[in-house]
A and B are shown apart, each in its own frame.
Chain A
């Protein structure tokens, strides 16, 4: 007997529908479980990435503070938000925008972004840190600050008008607007001129009764001994100081007679501002150039052509003879023995705020950028999003 098509269709039972239903139910459970697990995994990973992004942002802040670029950030236009530093960290990258504010304050806004993880990348966190550039308080109040008598003769000039050094143009110096007195002294002596010598400034000379020994040894966060510890010590004689280069064409900072290059601010030694220490009296007789901070633990006598931009600190007396001297910045001579400061010949001591500032801020040992002591750190993600 043959089985017909109708007989096959007419067979009754529930095994097949039950099996299909079972498969559907099991499939739905497995899919649901997988979906839930995937969601949990994504949520967990998002949390982890968020934390990692925060640490990347902090790395950006720390790197920026540790590798602070005084020349670049110190010349930013106020509030311009144009300073940017980029970096890469573990699993992502960071970008720090630096805003220069008044009073040596800076705001660093750092965004960390997760780049690893393919489609799951992209978590970002942004933090901000308000920091201050702390510098040594070494700011000569006049072209020449001293004690005792000051005598100018011949064609010597002391000028308090703020003037940028020759060749220091463009981005090197801002406009000169910081006029000072020509001579500031403690009133224990007199200031005299003869011949064609001149003292000019705002005013030409000024008395400050608060000038004491400490004026020449205490500079805020640092003192004389701290500066001496950071200085290079050329043995002398002090003739022919000039910039020198290594075989590779870089500024040879190991050369004790290389005191930087005041005549070429864009040259290899143009941004080299050493601290130079001379233990005892010094007489400079040859043609020499230099810039930075010159410390003399005795009397300083300039007798030949000597070009120097920056700060000269003398614990004894300061004298010049002959022609061709040009000091741009400020000279502070303690003159504790109340000797006479004699500036004769065609010497020029000229106030230059730019030279003073560059001598200090271009030396990383004299500047420290640090977050404010309290409430410097802010999680901007929590208020911006």
Chain B
């Protein structure tokens, strides 16, 4: 009698040896490790690029805003300079709120005026600068006067002429009778001070209006040298006198806590040259 085998007889199906499995495991780990490294590196590069783009966006926004304000500021008006305080890390200037042109002079003192608006209406209490023509045949007596709006009325459709709307305003005055004539530009303005401020632990470009609380504008910026103003006169020489400034070079600099692949902190800077128009 033939005894049956104690163990089932091995089949002839193919299989992996232990060595084969180990080799596969090692190769797999190497491949996975490489992929992980690539993924981590890509992630870091992506993050760094993202921060760089964000930084550039911050700087562009800040430069555009400041350039618009600075372009408008007057330095040729010796009586009412538009640049109020110059500093390397800050600037105080007049910023325009409303603009119009006198179309009718309604009283002899030339303080009661009808104004053709370009944009928003004037409001009582606005600080304004108005052009004083004086004698139309003499250019040397032309100047701007700084005053305030005492009274305003709503804009009416035919205020200036039939079909030409206008807003009636009364100014505090401060000029000779009839010095302000039809055609004179009128601007309402406020003072803005730009500088670096601490906002939630980060450094931002901040704006302060008329001595009030500072408001963040764009950021974050580099703590020490995130904002730099340089002032030049018409000859290109550095100047600190507001009425002599013809050009301002403005630099914004960012510096994040993120490090790039070389181990350096990710930062960037942008500089623009702004020529004043007024």
Contacts and interface: CB of A to CB of B under 8 A. Distances in A.
A43 B57 CA distance: 8
B142 A372 contact: yes
A102 B181 contact: yes
Contact of A378 (B72, B116, B160): B72
A103 interface: yes
B17 interface: no
A50 B277 CA distance: 18
B118 A382 contact: no
B241 interface: no
Given A47-B60, A383-B97, A375 B74 contact: yes
B77 interface: yes
A379 interface: yes
B278 A107 contact: no
Contacts of B277: 376-377
B183 A102 contact: yes
Contacts, number: 100
Interface residues of B, dominant DSSP: mixed
B139 A374 contact: no
B182 interface: yes
Interface residues of B, number: 43
Interface in B224-269: none
A84 to B, nearest CB: 16
A40 B68 contact: no
Contacts of A44: 56-57, 60
A50 B120 CA distance: 22
Interface string A322-350: 00000000000000000000000000000
B199 interface: no
Contacts of A220: 137
Contacts of B161: 78-79
29 contacts: A36-B50, A40-B57, A50-B64, A51-B64, A79-B103, A101-B101, A101-B183, A102-B181, A102-B183, A103-B136, A103-B181, A103-B183, A130-B101, A137-B137, A373-B76, A373-B139, A373-B142, A375-B144, A375-B187, A376-B185, A378-B118, A380-B99, A380-B118, A382-B68, A382-B72, A383-B96, A383-B99, A383-B118, A384-B119
Given A130-B131, A130-B185, 20 more contacts: A40-B57, A43-B57, A79-B103, A79-B164, A101-B101, A102-B182, A103-B136, A130-B101, A137-B137, A372-B131, A374-B74, A374-B278, A375-B185, A376-B277, A379-B72, A382-B68, A383-B98, A383-B118, A383-B120, A384-B118
